[in-house]
Amino acid sequence: MRQYIANRGDTVSRIAALHGLTPEHVIQGNPWVGRQSYLYPGQVLFLPSSPRKRYAVQEGDTPERITSLFNVNLEDLEKLNPGVTSGRCCTPGKILVIPPPIPDRVVFLRGEYGPADVESDIDSLLVQYPFIQAATIGTSVLGKPLHVLKIGNGTRHLHVNAALHANEWLTSPCLMSFIEEYAAAYAEGLEWNGHNPEVWFQNWTLWVVPMANPDGVELVQEGVLPDHPFYDDLMRWNGGRSSFRHWKANIRGVDLGDQFPAHWEEERERRGVRQPSPRDYSGPEPLSEPEAAALAALAEEAPGEAAVSLHSQGGEIYWNYRGYEPPESRELAAQLAVASSYRAVELTGSDAGYKDWFIQTFRKPGFTVELGIGKNPLPLADFEDMALETGLILATLLSNVK
């Protein structure tokens, strides 16, 4: 057993990923963790030794062959097996400890995916793919940057955002994963699941806001400590509960999914929530929150041919809004449904969403996509499937040449 002292921002999943463990390993050594909503700085955890792969050296093996076989770093192999690189410890039958494999991609889960992961992955993607452009479109209530990525130089613009709702944060790495795969395929001149990214790049400019509600995401993932500027308010709005895993709103208790000026007053009356809350409070007025206002300003600055807002969960695609949608929206939604195996749903009785505002304002196709199926926050194990479904939906739109 090793001791580990929790730091601000640590979660069970993040600690487990850092030490090559599973969350179950961490909980097994610290049963109290399973009864506590969050970790707090200074708490001491006991971590079991990380289970390592072993390998028996075969005839003809070299250190380079072994690193290639397991996709590991030679320096890491040497650290765990001193002398292996000199050949002295690479004799047939020798048992070697194999380090963790080198990640073959920038975007992957190291536990919960939060604002710091977005920033780190953006920095890495910009180095690897200089044709991606990055900027900020504003800041959140607490001053976190609202990042936007731009890829492609086409005359048609597609706007996509994720994690507008805090506990739907798994949509962020799904969107970031598609950006990486798009960029990699374009850079190498390869197809992506039967689509041609070079055509995307020439015809479309893709604008991506990967995490529209960073304050809320951090709250859901890490909880709140007494030194937080909104601590007293948040605890009151949350009914005194210490867990915020059900929280959808931003840090001021405003549901960003009900913030847009598309029959906002009617949605406010329908919801009937008149004060800050974990969900469904539409705020004092449309676009009162900097996160929603920034998304609207971006779409107005670069009017799009289409827009997608990624949410979870339900495996559904909403495509209409009060008859404002253009005729092609229905057929496009059907195509997206076929590509993703989701259901295209004609929705009524809902207003003030990003998709609603986009359709009403620009009379162009807009879609709300409910990724995955289950209970928010969806489990990390769903990431790979949801990321592929995200990509298939966006690829279908980008391949549309009508």
Distance of CA 245 to the CA centre of its chain: 16
Sequence-separated (6 or more) residues with CB below 8 Å from residue 275: 237, 253, 281
User: CA separation (Å) from 180 to 105, 125, 126, 149?
Assistant: 8, 7, 10, 11
Q: Kindly provide the residue ranges of all beta strands, DSSP E only, lying in 255-387, ordered along the sequence.
A: 306-312, 316-318, 343-345, 366-371
User: CA separation (Å) from 300 to 202, 297, 304, 305?
Assistant: 22, 5, 8, 12
> Strand 44-47 to strand 306-312: parallel, antiparallel, or no bridges (unpaired)?
unpaired
Q: Which of 378, 134, 225 is nearest to 389 (CA)?
A: 378
**Residue 122 contacts residue 116 (beta carbons within 8 Å):** no
> Strand 306-312 to strand 343-345: parallel, antiparallel, or no bridges (unpaired)?
unpaired
For helices 115-128 and 214-222, give the axis angle rounded to 10 degrees: 120
Let me know if 188 is a catalytic residue: no
> Strand 156-162 to strand 204-209: parallel, antiparallel, or no bridges (unpaired)?
parallel
Question: What is the C-alpha to C-alpha distance for residues 70 and 52, in angstroms, rounded to an integer?
Answer: 12
Q: Give 195's DSSP letter.
A: B
What's the alpha-carbon Rg for the chain, to the nearest Å? 23
Among candidate residues 180, 305, 316, 370, the one labeled active-site is 370
Distance of CA 68 to the CA centre of its chain: 30
- Cα angle vertex 50, ends 49, 54, to 5°? 115
Which residues are tagged catalytic?
370
